Amino acid sequence: MSTKIHELYEDEKSKKFVNHLIKSYLPINKPQKVWEFEDKKEHSCNVCGHKLIDMGTVMGKMMSSKEFMKDSIDQMKIRVFGEEEIKYEDIAIIKHITHGAILAWQGEKTTTYLCQPCIQDLLEMVSTKLLTGDKNIVWITNQMRRDQIFNSFKENPVLDKQEKEKVEEIKYRADKRKATFGDLEVLQKLKEKMDEKQ
């Protein structure tokens, strides 16, 4: 099944944008609910264009809307007794709070906002492309894994400034595919030092 994410990835003009989204929104623990849009403007999903809403707006409207409270209680009774089907557009939170907008999510080091279905589509696309051996996706995920390892060195309080600078040099060489066995030995010794002090 082709999704908007797939379409963007297959287009050479927008492939870099999808690469950016992969690095910002995966692994799945990176994206966070947007509590408040910093610029106070309306936003849409940067992939599918669906209107987005932040948690602060949802909470504020829920607390101040008498109509929402009344309809919510009435609809709970309907659901409990199964009297009738409630149309999507009449569901209290849709009708009074979101007006069809969905919750915004934001990844790391990005100014983009995505909806949860697009994040799910991104995850599924990456999984599929990894299984089929897509060289670009394999390279990106390997780079992300390598960055995570180097970050664990750079953030460790056991290592001093010079050791962290050495790690940064090795990372630079690794990114250029010019790391040596000597570099690996240095990292191994630093890892042993970190393990000893924990």
Tens of pLDDT, residue by residue over 21-60, are 999 999 988 999 999 998 889 999 999 999 999 999 888 8
Tell me the CA distances in angstroms from 31 to 18, 63, 114, 133, one per residue in order. 15, 26, 9, 25
Q: Which amino acid is at 149?
A: I
Which is higher by pLDDT, 94 or 43? Answer: 43
pLDDT of residue 1: 64
Residue 94 DSSP label: I
What is the mean predicted confidence (pLDDT) over 181-193? 80
Q: Residue 21 and residue 109: Cα distance in Å, rounded?
A: 10
Percentage of residues of the chain with pLDDT beyond 90: 43
Report the SS3 class of residue 132. Answer: coil
Residue 196: the pLDDT is 79
Q: How confident is the model at residue 198 (pLDDT cuts 50, 70, 90)?
A: low
Residue 144 · residue 158 · CB < 8 Å: no
Token pair 């101040």 in the structure block, residue: 64
Q: From residue 36, how far is each of 44, 88, 148 by CA, in Å?
A: 14, 26, 28
Compare 140 and 177 and report the one with higher pLDDT.
140
pLDDT at 95 over 90: no
Mean residue pLDDT of the chain comes to: 87
**pLDDT value at 179 more than 80:** no
189's tokens = 């010794």
* Coil, strand or helix at 188: helix
pLDDT tens figures, 112-148? 999 999 999 999 999 999 999 999 999 999 889 888 8
Domain boundaries, given as residue ranges, for the chain: 1-54+104-132, 56-98, 133-198
